[in-house]
Structure 1
Amino acid sequence: MKILFITNIPSPYRVDFFNLWGQFPNVELTVLFLETPEEHKGREKKWYHTNYTHFKPIFLRDKVALRNHVIFKDVFHWLKEKYDGIIFGGYAEPTYMVAMEYLRLHHIPYGIEVDGGLINKDSMLKFFVKKHFLSSANYWFSSGKVASDYLIHYGANPNKIIEYPFTSLTAKNLKDALGDISINDKNEQDWCKARGAYRRRAREMLHVEEPVMILSIGRFIKEKGFDLLFCLLPYLDRSTGYYIIGGKASYEIDQFLKEHNLKNVHILDFKTPQELSTYFRAADLFVLPTRHDVWGLVISEAMAYGLPILTTDLCGAGLELVEEGKNGVLCHADDKSSLEKALYKILKMDLNHLGFESYKRIQNYTIENMTLSHYNYFKSQNG
């Protein structure tokens, strides 16, 4: 089984996914990357790992500038080979677009994979561009119902959509998150008691003094919506601790915290996955006030640690994984009042019960299952 996958960067979860896929019998996987870790801006270098053991990584280099865009010409060298499957990790990159047009011209089938998708109010031109490229594939990999609805909106054949559990967690990551806690041999009461023990130990390690700890993780960029949360903090319960991880506080944030004497708000710089695990275990609630996230992997990571979720209705993972009132609450994106109401609402609920439901819901979201979905599809197509 010879597969070509074309994507943008070697993100850690993708590298794990490619390595697992490449270990299946008779699989020869080649992955074309548009950027190296060194070239990609906006991510700490510690975020990456480069263990390309079970697949062939190719970093495209021969590029030509076209106005404000870049197209890698050497993609055509790889498209001329014969494959059992070709997948694009999206559609919006100029290199993807020209490669898709090449494949259509030569009647070579290909698929598009989306990690998520939210239907927007597009201009007529933008809608037709999206529809042209998204509808032209022969099959589609979708991260769930929300993404499938997105694909169908832009012309995908619903009978050719393969849904897979999109995640950044391996089965080992999921097991290690809360160690010996298992939903298979514990009822909810026992699970909550064991989860509470992890919480207490983690808080001792982090010296968390507040009785309730709310955790947020994400880069301090406008899309993540942390400015909306900051505006609310002076008016919220000062006994609740807010731990926001994602970068150094700007001068403006520092001044804001001092001006309002917000000693219960803790701005923390980038943390490694191992460091983050302690914060996940220590927390009571996870909040992501994003303005727009086609997925939001940090949601599934928080659920793996048994955390209830508060996020917005423009977060793909929230729409797919959070059931209102069962394992979390959704608010309207870019709406400070809605965020405030959602915070008050969820903090009156049984957070332990919500966390238990989150933990149950996320158990099948592993990279192993994600890989199996892809392998089984191509196995069924190629015999």
Structure 2
Amino acid sequence: MKILFITNIPSPYRVEFFNCWGEFPGVNLTVVFLERPEEHKGRSAKWFRSDYTHFKAVFLQDKVKIKNHIIYKDIFHWLKKEYDEIIFGGYAEPTYMAAMEYLRLHHIPYGIEVDGGLINKDSLPKFMIKKHFLGSAEFWFSSGKVASEYLVHYGANPSGIIEYPFTSMMEMDLRNALGGPAISSANNDDEQSWRNTRENHRNESREILGIKEKVISLSVGRFIEGKGFGLLIDMIPQLDRSTGYYFVGGKMTSDIDKYIKKYNLTNIHLIDFKTPDELAFYFRAADLFVLPTLHDVWGLVVSEAMAYGLPVVTTDLCGAGLELVEEGKNGALCHAGDKMSLKIALEKVMHMDLNHLGFQSYKKIQRYTIENMALAHFNYFKNKRDRN
């Protein structure tokens, strides 16, 4: 089975996914990337993965600029080869659009995979462009019901949608999240055993990090406006001062420093970028995860937090939140950009049993592994081939 997958960058979880998929019997997978790691702005080259053991990695390089848009011309070289299936990791890149038009012109079917999707109030021209490209595919891989609704809104045939468990974590990552073998020895349905293990690793991590607060709220991500961290920081003076608020992923700015000093907020901690191994200690030390994002079509960090047994507070414009957070069961949702709504959601969750909510998060996320992502793709194409 010869498969061509066209995507933007070799992100770590995607490379792991392609390797898992490429290991299945009979799969001959070629992945075309638009950007090399060293060319990507905003990410350290160390963040990327370069282990392409079980698939063929191709990096496009022959690019032309047309009205501020970059199109890689050598994509057409790969489209002219014989494949059983062609999949695009999205639709919005100019190179994707040019390639899709080429395939339509030559009556070659293709599929589109989306990591998430939120329906927007588009202008008519923008809506028609989205519908033209999304609606013209033969099949669609969707990260869940929210993304599927998005695809149908823009012209996808519901019968051609395949939902898969989108994640950035391998099975081993899930096992290691709360300390590896210690958690695997406990029955996943035995909440008390899980609580004991979770508490032990929480205490160990807090000791290592020197954390003293009784309750810890964790937020992870780049310090950019779209993540909504400023909204949460503005609200902290109105919240319980005994809770520590840890923000990992950026440096202190002068504005935030002045704000902290103005209100004497000793419970706000801004921490620079951490490697995954370092970040694990913060996840284990926390009691609650908060992502007040203004817009995230998915938000992988939500599923990562759930793997560490954390209840989640996020917004109604976070795809992972809409898909994975059940109100009052493993967290709560608030309205994006609404400070009062965020305050209500936080206080609601803080007054519940955080360990019980975290246990529900942990149970819910167990099927969200890269291995299961790959299996969903393999099974779809195997069944499709068997039918034909």
Letter in 2 for 1:251: S
Asked whether the equivalents of residues 84 and 382 of structure 1 are also in contact (C-alpha less than 8 Å), the reply is: no
1:235 Cα offset (Å): 2.0
Show the counterpart of 1:237. 240
- Aligned-pair Cα RMSD in Å: 1.0
Show the counterpart of 2:202. 199
2: CA distance, partners of 1:336 / 1:199 = 29
Q: Which whole-Å deviations, capped at 9, do the CAs of 1:254-301 have from their partners, x for residues lacking one?
A: 222122211111101111110111110000000000000000000000
Please show how residues 77-92 of structure 1 align to structure 2 within 5 Å. Answer: 77-92=77-92
1:43 Cα offset (Å): 2.0
1: CA distance, partners of 2:36 / 2:226 = 24
2: CA distance, partners of 1:248 / 1:35 = 27
Please show how residues 157-172 of structure 1 align to structure 2 within 5 Å. Answer: 157-172=157-172
2:221 pairs with one of 218, 223, 226: 218
Show the counterpart of 1:295. 298
Moved more, 70-79 or 243-252: 243-252
Are positions 1:124 and 2:127 aligned together?
A: no
Show the counterpart of 1:47. 47
- Name structure 1 gaps, 5 residues minimum: none
Please show how residues 1-383 of structure 1 align to structure 2 within 5 Å. Answer: 1-178=1-178, 179=180, 180-182=182-184, 184=187, 187-383=190-386
1: CA distance, partners of 2:188 / 2:360 = 15
CA pair 260-177 structure 1, distance change in 2 beyond 3 A: same
1:328 Cα offset (Å): 0.4
2: CA distance, partners of 1:250 / 1:58 = 40
Letter in 2 for 1:85: E
Q: Which whole-Å deviations, capped at 9, do the CAs of 1:127-183 have from their partners, x for residues lacking one?
A: 111000000000000000000000001110000100000000000001111122246
1:382 Cα offset (Å): 2.1
Q: Which whole-Å deviations, capped at 9, do the CAs of 1:354-379 have from their partners, x for residues lacking one?
A: 00000000000000000000011111
Asked whether the equivalents of residues 242 and 264 of structure 1 are also in contact (C-alpha less than 8 Å), the reply is: yes
Q: What TM-score, normalized by structure 2, do the two folds share?
A: 0.97
2: CA distance, partners of 1:185 / 1:364 = 12
Q: What TM-score, normalized by structure 1, do the two folds share?
A: 0.98
SS in 2 for 1:81: coil
Equivalent residue pairs, number? 383
2: CA distance, partners of 1:22 / 1:50 = 15
1:323 Cα offset (Å): 0.3
2: CA distance, partners of 1:185 / 1:319 = 24
1: CA distance, partners of 2:13 / 2:19 = 10
Letter in 2 for 1:105: L
Which structure 1 residue ranges, 4+ long, deviate > 4 Å from structure 2? Answer: none
Asked whether the equivalents of residues 187 and 193 of structure 2 are also in contact (C-alpha less than 8 Å), the reply is: no
Percent identity reads: 70
Asked whether the equivalents of residues 312 and 332 of structure 1 are also in contact (C-alpha less than 8 Å), the reply is: yes
SS in 2 for 1:64: strand
